[in-house]
């Protein structure tokens, strides 16, 4: 006889309302009699209802991996296995998605087939690090499930103190604001650091994220140890005829209120003939005016990215934003992308050698100072790296050191002028 469904009055409440319900989905799996996962999902629902009743979680970690890998599987063992034995093991396989999270349905259907065979039938698109999360696998099925995903060309993502799975925005694939090839940058950076993803040996996690412009649709600045955020170094492109159309549509007051006054650096003004005047030297490439007037304005032609390091979430000292270490890196030809990959590797290397255990890049910078990191990366300082110079007067400057630094600045300026 088929195993009975547990009573789930609280979870049943989550089947009401207009938004798609994950509970309805899990129930569908639990009621797929004859499928290998049906009874496991019944007990999963039982455990989840138990969590809702008692307001506590009941999963604990462990150590599970696949051959040749040190991470990428999130082991979950139930602490209430006596009550819900069939979902006592409910591991997640983190699988790296394609950059931009584009799929054809053939791939998605194959994922479903594999996960019906070895797992629970429950898949999350996607986790906060970008992974496809295949949730709910018994220990003995982890290896065969991974083998089939691997056969399809997919690989495990990161977990633990490792390079993590990465995300990019939709980027050049479908966005006119894109300032570089986000998909290429992601693939090349990740492919070159796979060892550090699959064999966790870093002080703590390391995340790359790629956004094509300052709108930062991949949420890189708060979430990535190395954020690659698209920008341009020449003048923005303006189609004045289209600007006039926007003035017609929104009115002069509309344009002044919604575009001109909202420019953070007062770099815009509306001319008497309804064309736009742009002070490109003051423009910080924030994207606001481009977002409002999508037909009239576009990034410049000399495109690339700003590189910021040290963004992270709360644990343990609070959130940190990434800080600029490279204000502009041209990303046009293969050599440029190689330089990006090299920079990523250098940052990871410095992090591996200098961070304390369980310290993120941002915390390391707070401890050692940005100057020390820049020296390690052999990058010269740039005023684009700061909001303002120091305000604290207690700084030791031995006379000759100052002159030596001035010399470096002059050399860099001379080199840039060539």
Q: List the interface residues with other proteins, window 96-155 (CB under 8 A).
A: 97-98, 100-106, 108-109, 111-112, 115-116, 121-128, 130, 135
What's phi and psi for 222, nearest 5 deg? -90, -15
Cα separation, 121 vs 26, whole angstroms? 8
Q: Is 379 in the site for other proteins (CB under 8 A)?
A: no
Shortest distance, position 207 Cβ to other proteins, whole Å = 12
In the stretch 275-314, what mask flags binding to other proteins with x, by CB under 8 A? ---------x-xxx--xx-xx-----------------xx
Could you tell me where the DSSP H helices lie in 322-392? Answer: 334-354, 361-368, 370-377
**Binder to other proteins among 357, 378, 398, 403 (CB under 8 A)?**
357
Distances (CA, A) of 356 to 121, 204, 250, 306, 311: 40, 9, 54, 27, 17
Q: Is 48 in the site for other proteins (CB under 8 A)?
A: yes
Give the residue with the Cβ less far from other proteins, 4 or 314: 314
What's phi and psi for 405, nearest 5 deg? -70, -40
Give the residue with the Cβ less far from other proteins, 300 or 380: 300
Cα separation, 123 vs 134, whole angstroms? 5
Question: How many residues interact with other proteins (rule CB under 8 A)?
Answer: 99
User: Which of 57-65, 269-277, 342-350, 378-386 is the region at the interface with other proteins (rule: CB under 8 A)?
Assistant: 57-65
In the stretch 220-259, what mask flags binding to other proteins with x, by CB under 8 A? xxxx-----x---------------------------xx-
Cα separation, 282 vs 11, whole angstroms? 55
Nearest to 286 by CA among 361, 342, 236: 236
Nearest to 69 by CA among 200, 166, 191: 200
Give the residue with the Cβ less far from other proteins, 192 or 258: 258
Q: Is 260 in the site for other proteins (CB under 8 A)?
A: no
**Interacting residues with other proteins between 4 and 23 (CB under 8 A):** 10-11, 13-14, 16-23
**Binder to other proteins among 143, 192, 215, 372 (CB under 8 A)?**
215
Nearest to 270 by CA among 261, 260, 279: 260
Torsion, CA 312, CA 318, CA 321, CA 322, rounded to 10: -50
**Interacting residues with other proteins between 164 and 183 (CB under 8 A):** 167, 169-170, 172-176, 178, 181
In the stretch 193-212, what mask flags binding to other proteins with x, by CB under 8 A? --------------------
CA atoms within 13 A on the CB side of 304: 19
């Amino acid at each position: 006889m088929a195993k009975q469904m547990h009573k789930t009055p609280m979870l049943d409440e989550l089947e009401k309302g207009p938004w798609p319900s994950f509970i309805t989905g899990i129930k569908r799996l639990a009621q797929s009699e004859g499928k290998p996962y049906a009874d496991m999902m019944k007990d999963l629902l039982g455990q989840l209802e138990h969590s809702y009743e008692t307001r506590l979680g009941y999963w604990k970690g462990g150590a599970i991996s696949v051959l040749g890998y040190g991470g990428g599987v999130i082991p979950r063992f139930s602490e209430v296995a006596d009550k819900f034995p069939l979902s006592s093991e409910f591991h997640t396989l983190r699988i790296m998605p394609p950059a931009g999270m584009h799929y054809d349905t053939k791939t998605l259907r194959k994922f479903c087939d594999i996960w019906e065979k070895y797992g629970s039938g429950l898949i999350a698109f996607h986790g906060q690090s970008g992974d496809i999360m295949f949730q709910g696998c018994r220990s003995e099925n982890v290896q065969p499930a991974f083998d089939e995903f691997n056969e399809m060309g997919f690989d495990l993502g990161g977990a633990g103190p490792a390079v993590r799975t990465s995300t990019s925005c939709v980027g050049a694939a479908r966005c006119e604001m894109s300032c570089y090839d986000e998909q290429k940058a992601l693939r090349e950076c990740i492919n070159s650091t796979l060892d550090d993803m699959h064999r966790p040996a870093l002080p703590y996690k390391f995340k790359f994220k790629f956004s094509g412009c300052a709108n930062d649709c991949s949420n890189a600045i708060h979430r990535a140890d190395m954020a690659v955020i698209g920008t341009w170094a020449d003048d923005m492109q303006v189609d004045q005829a289209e600007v006039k159309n926007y003035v017609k549509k929104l009115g002069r007051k509309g344009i002044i209120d919604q575009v001109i006054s909202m420019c953070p650096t007062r770099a815009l003004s509306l001319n008497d003939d309804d064309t736009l005047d742009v002070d490109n030297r003051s423009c910080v490439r924030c994207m606001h005016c481009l977002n409002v007037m999508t037909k009239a304005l576009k990034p410049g032609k000399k495109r690339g990215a700003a590189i910021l390091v040290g963004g992270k979430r709360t644990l343990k000292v609070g959130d940190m934003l990434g800080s600029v270490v490279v204000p502009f890196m041209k990303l046009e030809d293969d050599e440029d992308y190689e330089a990006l990959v090299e920079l990523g590797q250098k940052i990871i290397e410095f992090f591996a050698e200098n961070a304390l255990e369980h310290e993120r890049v941002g915390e390391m910078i707070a401890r050692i100072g940005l100057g020390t990191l820049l020296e390690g990366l052999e990058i010269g300082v740039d005023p684009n790296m700061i909001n303002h110079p120091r305000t604290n007067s207690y700084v030791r400057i031995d006379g000759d050191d100052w002159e030596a630094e001035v010399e470096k600045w002059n050399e860099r300026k001379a080199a840039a002028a060539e």
